[in-house]
A and B are shown apart, each in its own frame.
Chain A
Amino acid sequence: MAPAFRSVGLRIGSMIVLLLLWWIASRLMHDPDVLPGPFVIGDTIAHDLVTPGPEGESAFFHIGITLARIFVAFTASMLAGIAIGLAMGLSRLLERSLLVVIPLMLTMPTILMVFLAVMWFGFSEAGGLVAVMAVVTPYVAVNILEGTKAMDKSLVEMGETFKADQSLLIRKVYLPQLMPYIFSAFRYAFGVTWKIVALAETFGLKYGIGYMFFFWFGQFNMSQVLAWIVMFVVLMLVLEHGVFARLESRAFAWRTSVAR
């Protein structure tokens, strides 16, 4: 309990120091058009959350849109990646043929993939989705493939002697052993997904946090630009540390119950 307490304290402490430095810098700068202080940004965020903005919608609406985009793209690319990785692990033929293509996709710079997707699909929801999937899916698949290599074959043999079919084996024998690999892919996939979604919104998708950011960028309104950046970063931190960490500890309950 005590170390956990200390780490929370440490996190809050460094956050406060950061805000303090920001506040001091803004006071020294003395130009709210270049670096508004944290209080100004706080006021702006509070204002944006309750008042309809330039698109006639409050910040909550845009946050919701961005979250929905992230959720759909993330889920789709994770599921596709897990399915492809598992299939590669189970079939030598598939593994050998896909291992030619995947490194090509992994070396492709993310930003080029976004441009490519936009050129093919235009500034549409599909364009964003394709960009995310093209970047994230191969990465997840490779991770899962690696996981299948590390699986305990004797458990598969056990399942086979008891006549377990492929679907039962996948659910109860393969996937649980892949969980550590799925979660490590999860973190990366999530990080990349929200960055690409933000990029796609900035470039041309209608609505969303990135869209609003770009709108205020066009107006050269520094406090609004910073307000949207802060909203975005806070949201992603909450998701990563609040939601995923909790999911992960639940998925590995069988392991931690030993350490009691």
Chain B
Amino acid sequence: MAYVMLKPAAASGAEVHSAIAVKDLTKHFLAPGGAEAFTVLDRVSLQVGEGKFVSIVGPSGCGKSTLLNIIAGIESYDSGLVTVSTREGADARPRIAYVFQSPRLLNWLTVEGNIHFVLEAQGVSRRLWAELVSRHLEMVGLSGQEKNYPLNLSGGMQQRVAIARALAIEPDILLMDEPFSHLDAITARKMRFDLMGILARAKPTILFVTHDLTEAVFLSDRIYMMKTRPARIFKEVSVDFPRPRQPEDSAVLDLEKTLTREFFRGLEAEA
């Protein structure tokens, strides 16, 4: 019902340090006739602490993307409360950036032009553009590609541009919707490592959607498990390993094994 954007002063009272708070969020899809077809999100609640990396793991079609779209403010919902607050000290409305499954670059613009596009959309002063572009391209390892066109880049590099584009607006909140699922396993693994390095420098709050538990365990501070029909969160796990992590560490592998078991048990359990 309400999409609330809290300023720090207001936020300090209620949900201290939580950048995203979703409470009892429910959304139904309507059938073409107007009748309620099915429930996309059923009383979903979650919290993402400021600067934290939180993942939602669930099967395809369980409403994860819908949830991200609602948090991004581009999709409506039926009931519940979604609160998005700014990083402490910022007084503007929260900046939200999005990395999609496919890069969604504007192929007729150069790499630099693609980043300029979001900077202009966000009303960032032109004086800052050059520095923001070069800093974030450097961060994703694409220095020198400013004038290149996206179609000249590989899929992995295009996704890096998409990440640089998202980071360039210096977001309070970064939403990532299965960003590595279209890449081959080797590229995806490299990208996950690089993402960890990047996030050590730019520190946005991240809500990351995936269907890959290995990925979630390696990257996250906290994992929410979601199932479909009815779509709801059935388990919440916090991951406390120190960073930097190695995907092959035995502790990481053990947790992954335990969670995988619980995940599939949860999916198969009756509602």
Q: A residues engaging B (CB < 8 A)?
A: 154-155, 157-165, 168, 172-173, 176, 179, 254-255, 257-258
For A257, the closest partner residue in chain B by CB is: B149
**A258–B151 contact, CB under 8 A?**
yes
B124 to chain A, nearest CB (A): 11
1/0 per residue B96-119: CB within 8 Å of A? Answer: 111010101011110000000110
Given the complex of chains A and B, what is the CA–CA distance between A35 and B104 in angstroms? Answer: 62
Across the A-B interface, the 7 shortest Cβ-Cβ residue pairs:
A164-B121, A176-B108, A158-B104, A161-B98, A162-B118, A258-B151, A162-B121
B74 located at the interface, meaning its Cβ lies under 8 Å from any Cβ of chain A in the complex: yes
Given the complex of chains A and B, what is the CA–CA distance between A135 and B117 in angstroms? Answer: 37
**A161–B117 contact, CB under 8 A?**
no
**A157–B151 contact, CB under 8 A?**
no
A7 to chain B, nearest CB (A): 27
**A254–B151 contact, CB under 8 A?**
yes
Given the complex of chains A and B, what is the CA–CA distance between A63 and B74 in angstroms? Answer: 55
B22 located at the interface, meaning its Cβ lies under 8 Å from any Cβ of chain A in the complex: no
B120 located at the interface, meaning its Cβ lies under 8 Å from any Cβ of chain A in the complex: yes
**A159–B121 contact, CB under 8 A?**
yes
1/0 per residue B140-181: CB within 8 Å of A? Answer: 000000000101100000000000000001000000000000
For A175, the closest partner residue in chain B by CB is: B108
B76 located at the interface, meaning its Cβ lies under 8 Å from any Cβ of chain A in the complex: no
For B162, the closest partner residue in chain A by CB is: A158
Interface class of chain A by DSSP? helix
Partner of A255, one of B96, B97, B106, B151: B151
Task: Report which residue of A163, A176, A255 has the largest number of chain B beta carbons within 10 angstroms of its beta carbon.
Answer: A163
Chain B residues in 8 Å Cβ range of A154: 100, 102, 104
Contacts A157-B104, A257-B151 aside, 13 further interface pairs with beta carbons under 8 A come to A155-B106, A159-B117, A159-B121, A160-B74, A163-B121, A165-B121, A172-B106, A176-B106, A254-B151, A255-B151, A257-B149, A257-B152, A258-B151
1/0 per residue B183-220: CB within 8 Å of A? Answer: 00000000000000000000000000000000000000
**A162–B97 contact, CB under 8 A?**
yes
B233 to chain A, nearest CB (A): 23
User: Are A162 and B122 also in contact (CB < 8 A) when A154-B104, A155-B104, A255-B151 are?
Assistant: yes
Given the complex of chains A and B, what is the CA–CA distance between A155 and B98 in angstroms? Answer: 12
Partner of B152, one of A160, A164, A173, A258: A258
What are 7 A-B contacts defined by CB distance under 8 Å? A155-B104, A160-B74, A161-B69, A162-B121, A172-B109, A254-B149, A257-B151
B254 to chain A, nearest CB (A): 37
Per the CB 8 Å criterion, the residue count for chain B at the interface is 22
**B117–A172 contact, CB under 8 A?**
yes
B101 to chain A, nearest CB (A): 9
B239 located at the interface, meaning its Cβ lies under 8 Å from any Cβ of chain A in the complex: no
Chain B residues in 8 Å Cβ range of A157: 74, 104
Given the complex of chains A and B, what is the CA–CA distance between A179 and B100 in angstroms? Answer: 25
Given the complex of chains A and B, what is the CA–CA distance between A154 and B177 in angstroms? Answer: 13
**A258–B149 contact, CB under 8 A?**
yes
For A177, the closest partner residue in chain B by CB is: B108
Given the complex of chains A and B, what is the CA–CA distance between A158 and B106 in angstroms? Answer: 10
B81 located at the interface, meaning its Cβ lies under 8 Å from any Cβ of chain A in the complex: no
Task: Report which residue of B96, B102, B118, B152 has the largest number of chain A beta carbons within 10 angstroms of its beta carbon.
Answer: B118
For A164, the closest partner residue in chain B by CB is: B121
User: Are A161 and B96 also in contact (CB < 8 A) when A255-B151, A258-B149 are?
Assistant: yes
B72 located at the interface, meaning its Cβ lies under 8 Å from any Cβ of chain A in the complex: yes
For A165, the closest partner residue in chain B by CB is: B121
Chain B residues in 8 Å Cβ range of A176: 106, 108-109
**B72–A161 contact, CB under 8 A?**
yes
Given the complex of chains A and B, what is the CA–CA distance between A155 and B107 in angstroms? Answer: 10
Task: Report which residue of A160, A254, A258 has the largest number of chain B beta carbons within 10 angstroms of its beta carbon.
Answer: A254
Chain A residues in 8 Å Cβ range of B117: 159, 162, 164, 168, 172
Given the complex of chains A and B, what is the CA–CA distance between A255 and B149 in angstroms? Answer: 9
**B106–A161 contact, CB under 8 A?**
no
User: Are A254 and B108 also in contact (CB < 8 A) when A161-B72, A163-B121 are?
Assistant: yes
User: Are A162 and B74 also in contact (CB < 8 A) when A172-B109, A257-B152, A258-B151 are?
Assistant: no
Given the complex of chains A and B, what is the CA–CA distance between A1 and B121 in angstroms? Answer: 42
Chain B residues in 8 Å Cβ range of A173: 106
**A163–B106 contact, CB under 8 A?**
no
